[in-house]
Amino acid sequence: MLFALLAEGCLAWRRAELDRYLEAVASVRDLPTGSRLTCALHAYYAEQDAGYEAEAIEQRKLFDDPYPDDYEFARDDGPLGGPFEEYLRKLAADIDQPGIIDFGGTRFDSALGLRMYYSVCAEDLAKLPPPNSDALYALHSGEVRLQDIPAELMEEGAAKQREAWLQERLSPESREWLAKWHAH
């Protein structure tokens, strides 16, 4: 449901942006006669771009650039996730909560190629116990929720106390299962 809502929001946003774009093109067409030939050429290409975008929206394409591969004016520096990533970046900017959602740049990964980087709740994730710890299992299993941890244990420098507090809340069944898991 969340993805469907985001996808529909992205398509609606793109339709609204396309309408704004076409209004701007129409105003270029209305410029005085002296500059009309140059403006008409630019308006023609802008309308062609708008047609590609309208077709992509109609086909409900979220991730690919709307332009054909052989289109001479296709963007090659846009977001890696295409219009959907652009929409997500816009939402994150509108929310303006850097501690919740941060979009990083792109980096080259030898195995995966160019990748977009982002973080979600990075400040909270930094407060989680180390990987493969019993304390982290308490959170993953749902025996303890992040919001159950007392505020003083969420402070910087309280990592050891937080980890111990989480481990103390494990059920006897979970402790038994973890003991068997550690033995293997």
Which pLDDT tens digit goes with each residue over 116-175? 566 677 666 666 777 778 888 888 788 888 888 999 998 888 889 998 999 999 999 888
pLDDT digit string (tens) for 98-120? 777 777 665 555 555 555 566 67
**Strand 101-109 relative to strand 113-120: parallel, antiparallel, unpaired?**
antiparallel
Element (H, E) at 40: helix 36-58
Cβ atoms 105, 31 nearer than 8 A: no
- What residue segments make up the domains of the chain, in order of their start? 2-78, 86-121, 127-183
Beta-carbon neighbour count of residue 171 at 10 Å? 11
pLDDT in tens, 21-60: 999 998 887 777 666 677 777 888 889 889 999 999 999 9
pLDDT value of position 71? 74
Two structure tokens written together for 95? 């929310």
